[in-house]
Amino acid sequence: MASATAAAAAYDYEDVAVAGAAQDLGYDPNFVPDSVKSFVVHMYRHIREKNVYEIHQMYETSFQTLSDRLFKDSPWPSVDAVAQYVENDHVFCLLYKEMWYRHLYARLSPTLKQRIDSWDNYCNLFQVVLHGVVNMQLPNQWLWDMVDEFVYQFQSFCQYRAKMKNKTEQEIALLRQFDQAWNVFGVLNFLQALVEKSTIVQILEQEKEGLEQFTATDGYDYSGGSNVLKVLGYFSMVGLLRVHCLLGDYQTGLKCLQPIDISQQGVYTSVIGSHIATIYHYGFASLMLRRYVDGIREFNKILSYIYKTKQYHQRSPQYEQILKKNEQMYALLAICLSLCPQVKLVEEIVNSQLREKYGDKMIKMQKYDDEAFALYDELFSYACPKFITPSVPSYDEPLVNYNQDAYRLQLKLFLYEVKQQQLLSGVRTFLKLYSTISLEKLANYMEVDVPTLRTILMTYKHKTHAVDADGKITSNADIDFYIVDDMVHVVESKPSKRYGDYFLRQIVKLEGMINELDRVKLE
Amino acid sequence: MGRELQQQVSLTVEQLVAVNPYNPDILNDLEDFVKEQVSSVTYNLEANLCLLRLYQFEPEKMKTEFVAYILLKALMAMPAPDFSLCLFLIPERVQMEAQFKTLTVLSHYLETARFGQFWEEATKSRHILETVPGFEQAIQNYIVHVLSLTYQKVSRPVLSEAINLNGPSLDKFLEHQVSNNGWIVDKSQSTGELIILPSSQFNHPELKRNSDETVPLEHLTRIFPILS
């Protein structure tokens, strides 16, 4: 196979920019240390024996340990060098290379040739899966990582390609030659094909009627079949959501996710990375669609979940990523709550974390002066996805960088929305103080004329009423009002303290304490 | 024969989008479909986003006339945020073109309920807006929607300015609303005519059910072991 040797050839390639330095230092792609030999031999055996537990252990722990010990700043041995230990098994070699590139992307910086070869490898791997010749059982973690990494490498490629200014002629020649590599149609069609071929949407439908099991077994197949296509198809829906968010197509992104009911636990919650990616992108898309309450609700749920379970992930290779997304989601929550002050939707623990991180900024964001806009800008820029321009650049025109274009456009449109809402927090503050007030008086307080006040009040109504996916309108306002001719009547939706939640918590606490006391007595 | 058969089973554009939303070959069908939506006063956001996406992927194929149609149709879909959804996909340099700047200004006035300014600007851009049948009516519907969210009772001059109708045409409009949508015209006021808009949970917020007090079952299950 052409691409089997491609990996090895990659090192010889002249354009080894940054990665080169480290790789040249005594890295011999053909040298296979004993520990690696043992790793692939065992991994191969466990895969053949469908021992998911052991595969998962080796994948999560051994691979990391070996990487830390032997391959901190060099790639793993080439696939050609290890193939002999795994009976040259085609599919195993594809999987090995998938990990090989992922490790390379994480620890070194890939050359263009390596990016292209990694694309080839994904093509071959997905092709094999789509043709249904894979009968393995792989851990969800790994399958999620494949989809996640596939989308990440696509994003990374687009960013790389968009920095045209300092491309060498050689690189441009290569880009032209391999114009199908990480092509946006190819990427989307692979994800879409995995969704369709796996019939995952139908499976989830049938599951609702009790005709099929998927969630109950976490997607695994315990009757001798393979989980690979099904679960890859499942995670590809999250992958599609993410790609569409990167492109600024939030509506389509949410549509891709629709078959997964995120109000419930599901296979997407079985892997922390997938759980976070799903909710982060769902919440971000909701924010951009002005469905602030949807965003707040889901951010609240996952942030509280992360808060409670963080400690179990401390040693996981994803820990840093978890913390980063955690911080980003607090920033997005701060934005949502500033535009739509529905604090009662947020649990105590999340709220106290939020105040600690963004309390001061959120107060300033209510002011809608230049400093406030700068803060919206700052939080958005910190927390948004790494937007991409998917199109191929023109190689003939003077080469310019366009890697910031997509981000700038999304930021600009978001800030535009913020500006449209700039007078709303002011009017809200006044409305809070009155049960009825005449337009004239309110206009006076706000230092505008009555016609302008009418527009502000109508804008308030329009912006606080979200249109959901089915076109249904729901109010997101905590302070609501109506006008009878020239008189404003204010209706405050009672800031109902969550007594239920509070009491439940206290009951559980008390019970714990009583149990503790009982134990003391016994001793 | 085979060809005839193919003709018969040829897919509608909606089906084409559903079958493969990432297919560059349906670009022309989607463009035709935009025209069809314009002439038949129908709307399909999904198909339009699909076309904008194809333009985004292959900018050299973009035809701005279709982008303009899509944006006009998106304005007509307000209060849904479709206009923004489309802008998210249109490169900034294209948005800088005069015709799109105009549309952005129009959208801004509608979003911030400055209806007087909207109609003023719309008059100036009549040549753009008149290319799309039903535009004015759709915008009026949106404005009526916002008024109905806000007012229980609105005076005639305020209504008149918002929907840009007066005199006999306003009377005709009111007549229609009275007989079809439950509006009431109250002429007994000394200060002038008051229009009573149909009540909903939005202009009568107290009608909204207060469901905040309920505790979801999944929370209750936490104390089941204690209660037993």
| pLDDT attached to residue A222 | 75
Query: Which of the residues B27, B44, B56, B75 would you substitute to probe the A interface, choosing the one with the greatest number of A C-beta atoms within 10 Å?
Result: B56
Which of B141, B151, B222 has the most A C-beta neighbours within 10 Å, making it the best mutation to test the interface with A? Answer: B151
Instruction: Enumerate residues 279 to 318 of chain A having a beta carbon within 8 A of any beta carbon in chain B.
Output: 288-290
The reply to whether A406 and A448 lie within a common domain is no
Tell me: do A443 and A306 sit in the same domain: no
A480/B92 Cβ within 8 A: no
B93-114 confidence digits (pLDDT tens): 999 998 899 999 999 999 999 9
CB-CB under 8 Å, B153 with A465:
no
- State whether A467 and A354 are in the same domain: no
Predicted confidence at residue A523, as pLDDT, reads 55
Q: Is the pLDDT of residue A299 over 60?
A: yes
- Residue spans of the domains in chain B: they are 11-133, 151-227
Do A399 and A455 lie in a common domain?
no
Which of A360, A383, A414 lies at the terminal end of a domain, its last residue? A414
Q: Which residue has the tokens 């990523």?
A: A321
Under the banding of pLDDT at 50, 70 and 90, the label for residue A164 is confident
Residue A16 has pLDDT above 70, yes or no: no
Q: How many domains does chain A have?
A: 2
A344 chain-B contacts, CB cut-off 8 A: 212
Under a CB-based contact definition with an 8 Å cutoff, are residues B82 and B140 in contact? no
pLDDT of residue B7: 44
**A88 pLDDT above the threshold of 80:** yes
pLDDT in tens, A35-85: 889 998 998 999 988 888 999 988 988 998 898 888 888 889 888 888 888
Scored b (16 or more CB within 10 A) or e, A282-314 reads bbbbbbbbbbbbbbbbbbbbbbbbbeeeeeebe
Residue A132: partners with Cβ closer than 8 Å, 6 or more residues away: A197, A229
pLDDT value at A189 more than 90 = yes
Do A453 and A363 lie in one domain? The reply is: no
CB A228, CB A134: distance < 8 Å? yes
pLDDT score for B218: 66
Q: Using an 8 Å Cβ cutoff, are B140 and B163 in contact?
A: yes
In chain B, pLDDT over 70 holds for what percent of residues?
A: 89
Strands, DSSP E only, in A200-318? Answer: none
Residue in chain B closest to A196 (alpha carbons) equals B19
Q: A323 and A451, same structural domain?
A: no
Higher pLDDT, A515 or A297: A297
pLDDT tens digit string along A398-448? 678 888 889 999 999 999 999 998 888 888 888 888 888 998 998 998 889
- Asked whether the beta carbons of residue A454 and residue B113 sit closer than 8 angstroms, the reply is yes
Say what the pLDDT of residue B5 is.
41
Is residue A66 situated within a structural domain? no
pLDDT at A303 over 80: yes
Task: Write out the two tokens for A289.
Answer: 């669609």
Cβ–Cβ below 8 Å for A247 and B56:
yes
Kindly identify which residue of chain B lies nearest to residue A264, measuring between CA atoms: B218
Closest CA to A243 of A296, A322, A320, A186: A186
Per-residue pLDDT at A472 exceeds 80: yes
Please name the residue of chain B whose CA is at the shortest distance from the CA of residue A484.
B153
Q: Is a pLDDT exceeding 90 seen at residue A248?
A: yes
Percent of chain A at pLDDT above 70?
Answer: 93
Q: What is the pLDDT of residues A253-293, one digit of tens each?
A: 999 999 988 888 888 988 889 999 999 999 999 999 999 99
pLDDT tens sequence across B21-50 = 898 888 999 999 999 999 999 999 999 999
Structure confidence at residue A494 (pLDDT): 61
pLDDT digit string (tens) for A102-118?
999 998 989 999 999 99
- Report the pLDDT value the prediction gives residue A32, as an integer from 0 to 100: 84
| Residue contact B84–A417, C-beta within 8 A | yes
C-alpha distance across the termini of chain B, in Å: 74
* Vertex A185: Cα angle to A183 and A189 (nearest 5): 120
The pLDDT of residue B191 is above 80: no
d(CA A247, CA B56) in angstroms, rounded, equals: 9
Q: State yes or no: pLDDT of B226 exceeds 80.
A: no
At residue B8, does pLDDT exceed 90?
A: no
Give per-residue pLDDT as tens, A204-228.
888 888 777 888 788 888 777 888 8
User: Measured between alpha carbons, how far is A54 from A60 in angstroms, rounded to an integer?
Assistant: 10
> Looking at chain B, which runs of residues are DSSP E strands?
151-155, 184-186, 194-196
Residue B9 has a pLDDT of 54
User: Residue A481 and residue B206: Cβ atoms within 8 Å?
Assistant: no
Q: Which pLDDT band holds residue B88 (cuts at 50, 70, 90)?
A: very high
Partner B contacted by A390 (CB < 8 A): yes
Instruction: Examine the domain organization and report whether A318 and A351 are in the same domain.
Output: yes
Alpha-carbon distance of A264 to B30, in angstroms, equals 36
For residues A315 and A463, membership in a common domain is answered with: no
Q: How confident is the model at residue A336 (pLDDT cuts 50, 70, 90)?
A: very high
Place of tokens 């006021």: B189
* Band of residue A455 on the pLDDT scale cut at 50, 70, 90: very high
Same domain, A315 and A177: yes
Q: Which of A188, A197, A251 to mutate to test the interface with B (most CBs of B within 10 A)?
A: A251
Rounded to two decimals, the ipTM of the complex is 0.86
The pLDDT, as a whole number, for residue A498 is 60
Length of chain B: 228
Look at residue B208 in the predicted model and tell me its pLDDT: 61
- What integer best gives the mean pLDDT of chain B? 85
Write out the residue range of the structural domain in which residue A115 sits.
110-414
The pLDDT of residue A12 is above 70 = no
CATH topology classification for B11-133: 1.25.40
pLDDT, averaged across chain A: 86
Hey, are the CB atoms on B88 and A249 less than 8 Å from each other? yes
Assess A507–B contact: CB distance below 8 Å, yes or no: yes
For position A328, what pLDDT does the model report? 95
Residue A457 counted as domain residue: yes
Kindly state the average pLDDT of the residues B182-204.
Answer: 82
Counting beta carbons within 10 angstroms of the beta carbon of residue B8, is it exposed (0 to 12), middle (13 to 18) or buried (19 or more)? exposed
Measured CA to CA, the distance from residue A411 to residue A418 in angstroms comes to: 10
Under CATH, which architecture does the B151-227 domain have? Orthogonal Bundle (1.10)
How far does B199 lie from chain A, in Å, by closest CA? Answer: 11
